[in-house]
Amino acid sequence: CIILGVQAACQDAAVTQELLKEGFHRDLLVKVELGVVGKDAAGCAVAARTRLPPGIYVDPYELASLQQHNLTKAVLIPDVIDVEAPEYLATDLLVLLYMEPDPQCSRCFKAALPVHGRYHRPAEESEEALVVLKSPEVLVCCCDSRLAAECWKPAEVEAPCSGKNDSPCQWYSITHKPAYEESILQVPVGLRQHSSLVCVVTLLATVLCSTLILAAVCKYGHFS
């Protein structure tokens, strides 16, 4: 009975994530409620570690701008990302998203991160590709205190508690019950039967624009 009671207390945490907006450019909103074990994490840093599949990515330049203005804090692994690569040439991306306390709830934390969908291969029938985003892992970092061993387990995370360029400290993971096991991002894709039409229109547009530019150069250009 004691073991069951400890497990019930340790699992009293909830995680929700939402993909806001529509189209290729979205906001990933993550909310965490630590529940009973939140008492042990007072004054500690809380983060959500999530793995983004190849169909979705974070723009490191956009993230750097947001962090410069203290609008969000996150660590990308790897930190070098090809933002132009299509889905079928990209790899997974690991994100450690630092969370801020929710003023409306003493045990709640939340954070938002802009994410972007990648271009997919043309499809045969459907005009949308589905990108499945799994529920994140909840991590807590306490540099000056210890957490209850029965509720937390050490996690292998090479990142500082504060999100700044400090030395890494020990992160701990907590088992939780997500509100949804996964979120699905719908990305618009082209149809294979439209390939010929797209190529012809692109070629005509290229020839027309090149002709207009050449005509403008000949008419208004100054040649010595």
Nearest to 47 by CA among 142, 137, 153, 134: 137
Compute the chain's Rg from CA coordinates. Answer: 23
The arithmetic mean of pLDDT across residues 13-31, rounded, is 88
For residue 219, give the H/E element and its range: helix 195-220
pLDDT at 4: 32
Whether residue 114 has a cis bond before it, omega within 30° of 0? no
Contacts of 40 (CB under 8 A, 6+ apart): 147, 148, 151, 152
Token pair, residue 83, equals 């933002």
- Beta bridge partners, 28, equal 19, 113
For 145, counting Cβ atoms within 10 Å of its Cβ (0-12 exposed, 13-18 middle, 19+ buried), the class is exposed
Q: Is the pLDDT of residue 8 over 60?
A: no
pTM of the model as a whole: 0.75
| pLDDT tops 80 at residue 223 | no
pLDDT of res. 91: 92
| Whole-number pLDDT of residue 149 | 58
Please report which helix (H) or strand (E) contains residue 8, including its range. helix 2-10
pLDDT band at 112 (very low <50, low <70, confident <90, very high): very high
In angstroms, the CA 139 to CA 192 distance is 43
In angstroms, rounded to a whole number, what is the distance separating the alpha carbons of residues 103 and 38?
15
Range 44-52 average pLDDT:
88
pLDDT greater at residue 10 or residue 47: 47
Average pLDDT, whole number, for the chain?
Answer: 79
Task: Provide the token pair at 78.
Answer: 């790897």
DSSP string, 115-142: EEEPP-PPBSS-SEEEEEEEPPEEEEE-
CA distance 90 to 82: 8
C-alpha–C-alpha distance, residues 136 and 114, integer Å? 16
